[in-house]
Amino acid sequence: MDGIIPSSLITDEWRQAYLEVLKEVRDEAVVRMRQEQSDEEEEDDEKEEEEVVDIPLCHELGLFLKYANGIQDPDFRSSGICPFEPVPAVGITEYAFSERANLEDYILDKANVDAYVDEDPDVKVGFLTGTGWRAQHDEWYSAYLYYHQEEDSRSPDPSLKDWAWRVCVFHAGLENSTALYGQYPRFNSLPEFLDWYSSWLEFVDMKVVKKNVRRHWGDDDYDSDME
């Protein structure tokens, strides 16, 4: 109920193994994307020189995983808010070195974020970390991305112009720049994201929560005292 998904990476060795697998999959994804770009450029007369970016290991994520596999909002307000769950919900033994292929397959499957991320951030690599549903439809996505914002970005935050690993939350609709909990949901650090994620109570409308509960339990008169 506190929203914390307990950590299953209980040793430094296992957490380091997770980060190494993440790096391997990340590098594979980068090579794949560069090859796709190269194939496209061969068909064009003009070729743009790509900026070479050294992508560091996600040490901050490793520290987070010491305490939790992820966080999950109970979403009493039925907003469709997504969890942040970078570690798959599988048994601890699947992180053992002899079964690293399971984790590789999981992360590689989540690494195709093009379908979820808008064109605003210039993403080098990343992976999906959660999907929130509302009325059985996708509502919000969370992702852990290595990116920066272009100079002409719609985001007003100048700090996003530097390359870094960041947690990002995206709306499932076309307008991914939608504000949530009073801000544009792009975060320069995990502590910044956690502070924001836990602030939902400041924005909740208890009348709407009460209405949703009554409707869930089949009260046809759930709007009667909402005035």
Q: How far apart are CA 14 and CA 62, in angstroms?
A: 10
Q: How far apart are CA 117 and CA 159, in angstroms?
A: 19
State pTM to two decimals.
0.79
Q: Which of 110, 118, 126 is nearest to 164 (CA)?
A: 126
pLDDT in tens, 49-105: 555 567 888 889 999 999 999 999 888 777 888 999 998 765 555 554 445 666 667
Predicted pLDDT at 20: 84
Predicted pLDDT at 98: 47
DSSP string, the chain: --SEEE-S--SHHHHHHHHHHHHHHHHHHHHHHHHHHHHHHHTSS--PPPPP------HHHHHHHTTEEEE----TT---PPPB--S-SS-GGGGSGGGHHHHHHHHHHHT--TTTS-SSEEEEEEEEEEEEEETTEEEEEEEEEEEEE-TT-S---GGGGS-EEEEEEEESSS-TT--BTTB--EESSHHHHHHHHTTGGGT--HHHHHHHHHHHTT-TTTTTT--
Facing residues of 74 across strands? none
Where along the chain do its domains lie?
4-216
Predicted pLDDT at 1: 56
Highest mean pLDDT: which range of 4-13, 73-82, 186-195: 186-195
pLDDT in tens, 24-54: 877 877 777 777 766 666 665 555 555 556 7
Mean pLDDT of 145-167: 79
Predicted pLDDT at 21: 82
Predicted pLDDT at 27: 81
Q: Is residue 219 scored above 90 in pLDDT?
A: no
Highest mean pLDDT: which range of 16-30, 31-45, 110-124, 207-221: 16-30
Query: Bigger pLDDT: 120 or 94?
Result: 120
Predicted pLDDT at 60: 94
Q: Is residue 165 scored above 90 in pLDDT?
A: yes
Mean pLDDT of 201-218: 75
